[in-house]
Structure 1
Amino acid sequence: MPSQPLLSAQRVQSAGGRWLYAVDQTSHSPRATAPHSHARGQLFGTDAGVLTVQTAEGRSVVPAGQAIWIPPGVEHGAETHGPFAGWAAYLAPDACEDLPEVPCTLSMSALLRAAISRAATWADDVLDPAQQRIAAVISDELRALRPVPGALPMPTDARLRKIAHALIADPSDTRRLQDWADWAAIAPRTLTRRFAGETGYAFEAWRHRLRMMCALERLAAGAPVTTIALDLGYDNVSAFIARFRATFGITPGRYAAGRCTTLTLTSSPTDKPTPPAC
């Protein structure tokens, strides 16, 4: 069942009122929103738990300490994993003119997070001078955020998208590239070339990255490391732990124990993505 929106539809879909609305919300139950769009731009993230966001361009898993930017009018769906302590800032269209025109995963500053939390307490549409100064800080900090490698780009070719959606539905599927090519009626060499060209990742690197995103979701929900490893198609727990450490710089056990409050996906020379278009 879809969750109630963080902000009323009247405000989300309106260019009127103040240029910035902000909300904080905590929930012990997972939240999920069906694909939708709104007139305002949205920056949102979590202080606890993991957030998954799906757009036409790709799939992003956003851990605590990062945020995702959705420009006005861009369709997106979102889902939380684990206890939810989240926040969002909604910007009027004319306040988004010099912000990225495509969805981006961004680093988050402590100053911006604190200012958004303060803005979430504002009740009136007319801001007093002190509130206007905080709003100005939010505007400046928004424009100072830097993109981080977090999204998993989706291919555009219909045959490749069919494969990508099948893997998202079942990340444990261990079919080899030749098998996928036969299934999608595409030549293996064409699959290899076009997948890398359209996503910035070799096919196997893309699949491993998807699995790592799924691992974050399941760790946030409290699943045991062994269960996650086997459910994601790894032959043994050691292989999963090694891949997780190579991707995030920490073991899944240490991450699940709360010994790392922020994560950044790393890239090896063999699976380096193309730079984000932000």
Structure 2
Amino acid sequence: MLNDPNVEVARAVVGVGNDYPPSFELALHTHRRGQFLHATTGVLAVSTPQGAWVSPPQRAVWIPPGTPHAVRMIGPVSTRSVMIDPAIGQFDRCCRVVGVSPLLSALLAEACETALEYDEAGRDGLVMRLIVAEIERAPVIPLAVPFPSAPALAMRCHAFLEAPSVKSGVDEWADALHLNRRSFTRLFRRETGMSFAEWRQQACLAMALQRLVAGASVTEIALDLGYDSPASFSTMFRRVLGVPPSRYSV
């Protein structure tokens, strides 16, 4: 471990690094500070009572201060992160997956090697301030699966994550919840902030990323998710993440 996230120091930004074995899980917990959680290897699956976020390399999860969250490591994971005092910066109040530029990645690695009681007026302080500026401008990546608060809908969403399929449709869900199509689509967007089709895609993508890193083939994942062909799955994957699914295959 490079620095301890639970140690309180009189610095606004603190670097934290860890190396985890495959399938390691951090139980539900909170931090007083906001956490910018970045994995240089492996994939992070972050869950809160409000949703789930999956973060492959070149991505990170922003976890606001005081947010209860659990983290599961998919593959061997090395994290290089920072803990940020809530009094500084302009950050989202909800969890987000964001892009990590090569510059930000290098800065995070440097932060994790920096002593806890660094000189705020010197080079280390400049590095930390630059990290905050880079995080504030980092692009949001659509890798979120928000959970609704309505109990019946939430139960169905959680069940879907156990066996996601692009074939699952609005009418099927509406019938299961005893709603007409229009009422269901309104409820779903109000509860999740997404259309059903957007949420279904994100849920399928989140599960696909985890299975890719675990060693499943692109063909196997595509067919299990209900795609007509591996090519159609790969097209969706590349459109959303900018890289082919083979990028995350072991």
Q: Which moved more, 1:212-221 or 1:75-84?
A: 75-84
- Percent identity at matched positions? 32
Pick one of 117, 120, 127 that aligns with 2:109: 117
2:143 & 2:225 partners in 1: Cα distance? 19
Offset, 1:72 = 0.7
CA offsets 1:176-209 (integer angstroms, 9 cap, x no match): 4444334334344311222134334332442232
2:215 & 2:221 partners in 1: Cα distance? 10
**CA 1:124–1:105: 2 relative to 1, 3 Å:** closer
Pick one of 225, 244, 255 that aligns with 2:218: 225
| TM-score normalised according to structure 2 size | 0.83
1:36 & 1:142 partners in 2: Cα distance? 23
| TM-score normalised according to structure 1 size | 0.76
Q: Tell me which amino acid in the other structure corresponds to 1:142.
A: I
Q: Which moved more, 1:172-181 or 1:146-155?
A: 172-181
Match of 2:19 in 1: 26
Pick one of 135, 147, 164 that aligns with 2:128: 135
Q: Tell me which amino acid in the other structure corresponds to 1:192.
A: T
Match of 1:262 in 2: none
Q: Tell me which amino acid in the other structure corresponds to 1:193.
A: R
Match of 1:210 in 2: 203
The correspondence of residues 249-268 of structure 1 with structure 2, limited to 5 A, is 249-253=242-246, 255-256=247-248
1:26 & 1:170 partners in 2: Cα distance? 30
Offset, 1:250 = 4.4
Q: Tell me which amino acid in the other structure corresponds to 2:107.
A: A
1:99 & 1:177 partners in 2: Cα distance? 34
2:201 & 2:123 partners in 1: Cα distance? 48
2:98 & 2:42 partners in 1: Cα distance? 17
Pick one of 36, 43, 53 that aligns with 2:46: 53
**Structure 1 residue 99 corresponds to structure 2 residue 91:** yes
Match of 1:73 in 2: 66
CA offsets 1:157-194 (integer angstroms, 9 cap, x no match): 33322221111122249554444334334344311222
Contact persistence 2:44–2:74 (CA under 8 A): yes
Q: Tell me which amino acid in the other structure corresponds to 2:108.
A: I
CA offsets 1:88-131 (integer angstroms, 9 cap, x no match): 111223235x3222222222232222222122122342437232
Q: Tell me which amino acid in the other structure corresponds to 2:210.
A: E
Contact persistence 2:3–2:116 (CA under 8 A): no
1:180 & 1:151 partners in 2: Cα distance? 20
2:78 & 2:129 partners in 1: Cα distance? 25
The correspondence of residues 151-230 of structure 1 with structure 2, limited to 5 A, is 151-172=144-165, 176-230=169-223
Contact persistence 2:39–2:79 (CA under 8 A): yes
1:190 & 1:153 partners in 2: Cα distance? 19
Unpaired segments of 5 or more residues in structure 2? none
Unpaired segments of 5 or more residues in structure 1? 259-278
Contact persistence 2:3–2:16 (CA under 8 A): yes
What secondary structure does 1:87 align onto? strand
What secondary structure does 1:93 align onto? coil
2:18 & 2:86 partners in 1: Cα distance? 24
Q: Tell me which amino acid in the other structure corresponds to 2:124.
A: Q
2:23 & 2:241 partners in 1: Cα distance? 24
2:129 & 2:22 partners in 1: Cα distance? 34
Equivalenced residue count is: 249
What secondary structure does 1:95 align onto? coil
When the two chains are superposed, the root-mean-square deviation of aligned CA atoms in Å is 2.8
**CA 1:159–1:8: 2 relative to 1, 3 Å:** same
**CA 1:181–1:113: 2 relative to 1, 3 Å:** same
**CA 1:48–1:135: 2 relative to 1, 3 Å:** same
2:4 & 2:219 partners in 1: Cα distance? 41
Q: Tell me which amino acid in the other structure corresponds to 2:92.
A: P
